[in-house]
A and B are shown apart, each in its own frame.
Chain A
Amino acid sequence: MSIFIGEDTRLIVQGITGREGSFHTRQMLDYGTQVVAGVTPGKGGQTFESKVPVFNVVAEAVAKTRANTSVIYVPPAMAAGAIMEAADAGIRLIVCITEGVPVMDMSRTMPFVRARGVRLIGPNCPGLITPGASKVGIIPGNICAPGRVGLVSRSGTLTYEVVNHLTRSGIGQSTCVGIGGDPIIGTDFIDCLEAFQADSGTDAIVMIGEIGGTDEQNAAAFVKKSVTKPVVGFIAGQTAPKGRRMGHAGAIISGSSGTAEEKLAAFEAAGIGIMRRPADVISLLQTRL
């Protein structure tokens, strides 16, 4: 078992003929992901790598291929439109890899996505992988191994670092999800914690956060209340300098400065095992599994 993606994932790639899109489509195909269609307006009728049919619009791709999931590699200014197109076409899970999407665009896109009951992961995220079954996004498949630890992270390469430690120590993963570090994202820590808690294929959860905002604190409160599986966590940026902050609104809205100390204290209070460094994930999990 796994969360969000698995054997039944039928994927379309929006931006399949672009530089990033084509490179990562090859990687996903090699990994065994069922890539059933690609979408690039104006290139409908072509076939990608003589395997994947390309369509002009998402609705047509969905109608012809019964796709249920989409991954987006289009330029930032087009990303919000691509997300809404996928949501409108009946895609159930949208993964937006694109980095640099204007936050105002996301603020207008989220109500549209929610109104259709669609799950969005990202933007500005590495996507997710259910090792051995399906990979959607850019997480390198070779560092992952099938297993029973769920991982959720705000970061990209730091996720790889931690997954690599797990795999090398013989600890496989049920699903690894990179939720992205942007201010407005479709799926947050709590959504993933909830899914891992409900997933019979997951025995323990690793959570990788960063300084800034209050998502980790909220997630810790959720763990305390609703998660019975063991959770271990890391916060990147423990030594980051305090920025030259402008204005007061950020501190007022969150009632917090989003420091590592605050987040680690919240972890502690929720009984989350604290990783002082990425390598600590192994010993912390071993004592809890």
Chain B
Amino acid sequence: MNLHEYQARALLKSAGIPMLDGDVASTPSEAESIARRIGGKVVIKAQVHSGGRGKAGGVKLARNPGEAADHASQILGMTIKGLVVHRVLVVPAADIASESYVGIIMDRATQKPVFMVSSAGGIDIEEVAAKTPEKIVKMPVDPVYGLLPHQALTLGFALYQDFAQVRAAARIMEQLYRVFTENGASLAEINPLVTTPDQKVLALDAKISIDDNELDRRPDLALLRDESAEEPSEVTARRANLSFIKLDGNVGCVVNGAGLAMATMDLVKYYGGEPANFLDIGGSSNPEKVISALKIITSDPNVKAILFNIFGGITRTDDVANGLVAATQQFKVKVPIVIRLTGTNEAAAIKILEAVGMRALSDMDQAVEQVVRLARDAA
């Protein structure tokens, strides 16, 4: 789960990381009064879960409160990479002497949190990593012992020469590591970490992603989820315990298991079609899940045909068949449905479907070819 910048700032601030004052606004007049309170030049920053905000026009400098209101009214409601901006962050414009990059990620390869810092910070850090990887210092941290004092100092020395700044940076590393572990983050980034002309070290922007698996035991973090920042159908799906991603094609897909769901989308494309979604109904599926899945998919007007691809392992195919029958009795599905079922309780499933005049295929290729043809004919 991605946090907004203003939420990430709050976590950093409570850990004691030095930052500029600032606040979040959801209307131009709120932005104006924050700007007035801060005084001087401010930066208005769109709060969306996407990189490239600046390039999209979502970050603007305002010289006075009036300009802050004007910029906020332009940015609020704008769309960045498909996401509507509902909030802006208003922060003082900083005088910057240098920009660095600091990040911690849970690294698959070392299976540890790994720090990455670079004195060549700013937005083009990926280019730095690709072209001059030697400018990025990486340091794995043993999660049992945590970030050790000499490691924090080493990271500080990688960024600064001035010893006061080195120590300030080392302290920030320790604080950021604590934010990372205490909140079960998979990513915590300060980009940029800046120095000011008066030698201070400050965090200007922060990005934090929380491991979704933490949310069950951390209701305080789960509350930070901003559903207005997500695709509405994806929110509905998550509430129904379905994993769903909306796409642009016209073949709706209902599949059990993420790998099989991706392979199904690949096969739709292989046979010349375009998937309308990724949808994983998960393992032990009850009929209710199938009903929710069908509702979500049929609410997309682009969908011209729907494919069910179920390989029953833990999932019982008769549960899915019952869900299909119940759903089609609850509401009329106006597009054709192609059903592929195989595995656990397959014979019972086929009987349930046949009783209401539905048919099921057992071969995945055959089913995908058929649904692609039906979608094409209907388009």
> What residues make up the interface of A, taking CB atoms closer than 8 Å to B?
20, 76-77, 99-104, 106-108, 110-111, 126, 138-140, 143, 153-161, 164, 181, 183-184, 208, 210-211, 213-215, 234, 236-241, 244-255, 276-279
Contacts and interface: CB of A to CB of B under 8 A. Distances in A.
A246 B207 contact: yes
A77 B284 CA distance: 20
Contacts of B144: 108, 111
Nearest to A156: B257
Tell which of B103, B105, B184, B267 has the most Cβ of chain A within 10 Å: B105
A181 B108 CA distance: 11
Interface in B148-193: 181, 184, 186-187, 189, 191
B83 interface: yes
A111 B140 CA distance: 13
A243 to B, nearest CB: 9
9 contacts: A155-B260, A159-B259, A161-B364, A181-B259, A234-B263, A239-B262, A244-B81, A246-B49, A246-B209
Interface string B130-147: 100100101000111000
A209 to B, nearest CB: 9
B247 interface: yes
Nearest to A24: B314
A155 B258 contact: yes
Given A101-B213, A236-B259, A240-B278, A277 B103 contact: no
A143 B51 CA distance: 45
B378 interface: no
Contact of A247 (B82, B114, B187, B247): B187
Contacts of A156: 257, 259-260, 283, 313
Interface in B80-107: 81-83, 101, 103-107
B105 A249 contact: yes
B126 A252 contact: yes
Main secondary structure of the interface of B (DSSP, over half): mixed
Contacts of A279: 364-365
Listed residue (A110, A139, A157) with the most chain B CB atoms within 10 angstroms of its CB: A157
Given A156-B313, A241-B245, A255-B129, A104 B259 contact: no
A184 B111 contact: yes
Nearest to A112: B144
A249 B143 CA distance: 18
Contact of B213 (A76, A108, A246, A251): A76
B216 interface: yes
Contacts of A107: 106, 111-113, 143
B262 A236 contact: yes
Contact of B103 (A108, A139, A247, A254): A247
A157 B125 contact: no
A160 B187 contact: no
Contacts of A181: 258-259
Among A160, A248, A277, residue most surrounded by chain B Cβ atoms (within 10 Å)? A248
A115 to B, nearest CB: 10
Contacts of A100: 213, 216
Contacts of B114: 253
A248 B262 contact: no
A250 B143 CA distance: 19
Given A111-B142, A241-B245, A160 B186 contact: no
Given A101-B213, A104-B106, A107-B111, A246 B187 contact: yes
Interface in B247-295: 247, 255-260, 262-263, 265-270, 275, 278, 283-284
Contact of B256 (A157, A210, A250, A254): A157
A24 to B, nearest CB: 8
B260 to A, nearest CB: 4
B105 A253 contact: yes
B2 interface: yes
